[in-house]
Every structure is written in structure tokens, then in C-alpha cells.
Amino acid sequence: MRERPQRTPLTLRTYARVTAMLRPATALLARRRLKQGKEDPERVQERRGEASIDRPPGRLVWLHGASVGELLSIIPLIERLQARGVTVLVTTVTRTAAGLAARRLPPGAIHQFMPWDVPVYVDRFLRHWQPDLAIFAESELWPNLILRTTARGTPLIQVNGRISERSFKGWQRVPRSIKALLSRFELCLMQTVDDARRIEALGAPRVSTTGNLKFDVPAPEAEPEAAMALAQAIGYRPVFLAASTHEGEDEIVLEAHRLIAPRLTNLLTIIAPRHPERGDAIVALAEAAGLPTCQRSRGELPKLRHAVYVADTLGEMGLFYRAAPVAFLGGSLIRHGGQNPIEPAKLGAAVLHGPHVFNFAAVYEALAADHGARQVTGADDLAEGALLLLADKRERVRQREAAAETVEALGGALERTLAAIEPYFLSLAMRSQ
């Protein structure tokens, strides 16, 4: 178990004082974020640590996954923890993740928004929920949350941990602060050997490499009636999907469509933006480029005259991956860090991606080694790669089979993670007797 923490460095004590003084400013922050649609007006009080429901009696395990990717990665873990007879509290930061939680969390799991990292809000949250164990996914390192959670005696574990080279270099500028934070974790269970090496160098005392939980997440479902309706609307048209695109990439995708269309009759390009609220802007871009477009958020299905289908809804990526034999994954032609290629690989879509995939570097490296994904650098490259895969069935099947085998071989992180945290569940069980 964790050793007694050393005195908190001045930087972290200053951070706590400053965030406490900034508490009044959170009212302005909340108003701005509500206006931008980034907060749920009916649940914004949760960001101040005010619970919207009572705490159930008995043991409670708190899991935090900031956004959609982190939440998806821990859903199988949540299910396995519930089977142990504990209540699971799940916190997220984004509204998108909250919407996903409403659809995908197993029955009995509780969802709340993570409080802002202000001391009084954190304390209010902890007093209400009184977690017996806290588990943070990936790279969430909020100082007040970490220090105040562990000060209450709550064991804290990091699962599916990752730390990029960029973050590593940033934390090296404040070595005492990051070491003080990492020393509060009972365990840091990291995705890759490189992640483990970096976090150990920053001062984490107990580190293991357990793999990436995202490899063990079941492929997203597709509602049968919606899948049938979309399949009937598409018919025998060739389909190219641009998934989780970010601002600055849609123009590149539309240019790629323009280059492919003369060589592939009746091509339909589906653009599924990472942030669905950008749907109207993408429609405007496509129509300005002379491409007839329809929009899923308006209840429309593509007709033969439509060149582009803007899929600006939530929770339907399983539908679109099944509809498209070739998928470009966004966030990779800009310096965002890429998107998770595991879901399309499991659903049989041949994957294209840009060069900026540092958030999923190990996954893409494994896919590249097995020739299970193809890198592109711009519109010409994207058009060439998509056309090759759409026109050559043999190459398309070869690539997607290679990707599926790679993803299958890299599974097992869930069992390794459960084995690592088992002693903490035994301790909970003994304390509750």
C-alpha cells in the first residue's frame, strides 16, 4: 500500500489557494459554457460538487473517464466491478460523454459530472459520495481532486494510463509537483512500456504495464431498423466514411471526394464530425463546393443525387462503420493526436489516417507493422488511398483482416487490470464485514 505522502510542495499549495480564490469566477465560467452548449443547464450544479441523487448504502467505487474515449474504455471494467456487488459511480467532464453514459452505462451505475477542481467543490463531492476506492482513467491529474481524495484515506488507482512525450516534457518542468501527485496513487496501470517508463521517470512509485483497455471494448452496436434504413438508402453505391473529423479536415475530405468521384460512379462520402454541433457548418462547406448534401440530424437519408451525407448525431458510429468499407479517422491531418482505430478495425472498415496520431501511437504502430492501416498526408493522398481500397476488393479485405488480427492479438488488458486491483477489492470486502 501507499507510503505516507511527503509534505505537499509549495506549487501545489499555491494552486489550492489560487483555485479557492477563483471560486466566484466559476459563476462566469458556468454562464459562458452554458451559452456555448458545453454544460447541461439541468445539471450544472454537479460541477460545483452538488449531487443530483442520494448516495446508495454500501461500498461505492468511483471511476472517472473525462470524455467519450475514456468512458468507452472503462465500460467493461464497470460491468465487472458491478458483478463484485459494489455500487459504481462514474464521472465525466463533457456533455457528449454524459450522453453516451445515459445510453451505454449498465443498469445500476450512477453518472455525475466531475466537479471543477476547486477545493470547496471537491470537498462537497467527496463528503456526499464517500468513495471506498477511486479509479481514474488515462491521464487525468487534477491536483485538488488527487490530494483531497487521498487525504480522506481513499485509495486511488490509475487505469489505462498514458502520458505522451509532450506531456512528459511539460511535467519535467515541475518535478517536485508531479512526483507529489503521482506518489498519491496506489497503482499506475499503463497502456504501454513507453507510458510506464515516462511515468516512472516522473516519480510514480508503483507502475505496471497492463495494455490498452480499448482493445477489450466490444464493437459499438447499430440499431437494426436504422441500419436497414441506411443500407436501403445507400443501395449498391460505393461509400467512403470520414469519421471523427475536426475543424480544418472537412475541406480536405471534400476535396478528396471531388478527386475520387469522376473515377468511381455514384460515390457517397459520409462525414461524421467529432463534435456533431459542427454539422451545419460542414453542410455549408459541402454545398459551397457544389456537392449536394443531406444531414442526419434533420432526419434525412441520402438519395442518389446526394454526394455527401453529414452524420451529425451521437452514438451512431457503429452504424456508419458498418455502412462504409473504408474509413478515414480524423484528428490526424491536424495536430490533434488522432482518433481510436480499434472500433473500425473490429467492424471491418479498412482504415486510413493522417500523420498526427500521437494519442494512439502504439496502436497505429502495431497496425502499421502488420499493414493493417494506411497513412495519408493530404487530399491527393487521401483520394488515392480511398480509391485503391474502394476499387480493389482484394486489397481492402487483406488490410481489414490484418487490422482485425492485430486488434485481437493486443487484447487482454481488462483481465490484467482486474488482477492488479484485486487486492483492493479484498481489502474492501474485509472492511465491510
Per-residue pLDDT of the chain (433 residues), as tens digits, is 455 556 789 999 999 999 999 999 999 999 999 998 889 999 999 999 999 999 999 999 999 999 888 999 999 999 999 999 899 999 999 998 999 899 899 999 999 999 999 999 999 999 999 999 999 999 889 999 999 999 999 999 999 999 988 899 999 999 999 999 999 999 999 999 999 999 999 999 999 999 999 999 988 889 999 999 999 999 999 999 999 999 999 999 999 999 999 999 999 999 999 999 999 999 999 999 999 999 999 999 999 999 999 999 988 999 999 999 999 999 999 999 999 899 999 999 999 999 999 888 889 999 999 999 999 999 999 999 999 999 999 999 999 999 999 999 999 999 999 999 999 888 877 766 5
Whether 225 sits among the annotated catalytic residues: the reply is no
* Rounded Cα distance, 342 and 403, in Å: 8
What is the structure's pLDDT at 433?
58
Say what the pLDDT of residue 361 is.
86
Q: What is the pLDDT of residue 427?
A: 81
Classified as helix, coil or strand, 257 is helix
Within 13 Å and on the Cβ side, how many CA atoms surround 377? 0
The residue with cell 509534505 is 7
Taking CA atoms, 143 is separated from 113, 151, 182, 235, 345, in Å, by 17, 12, 10, 53, 36
Nearest CA to 214 among 93, 102, 335, 72?
Answer: 72
CA-based Rg of the chain, rounded to a whole angstrom? 23
Amino acid at 432: S
Confidence (pLDDT) at 313: 94
For 304, residues 6+ apart whose C-beta sits below 8 A from its C-beta are 235, 237, 266
**3, 39, 46, 70: the active-site residue:** 70
pTM of the model: 0.84
Nearest to 272 by CA among 235, 289, 297, 236: 297
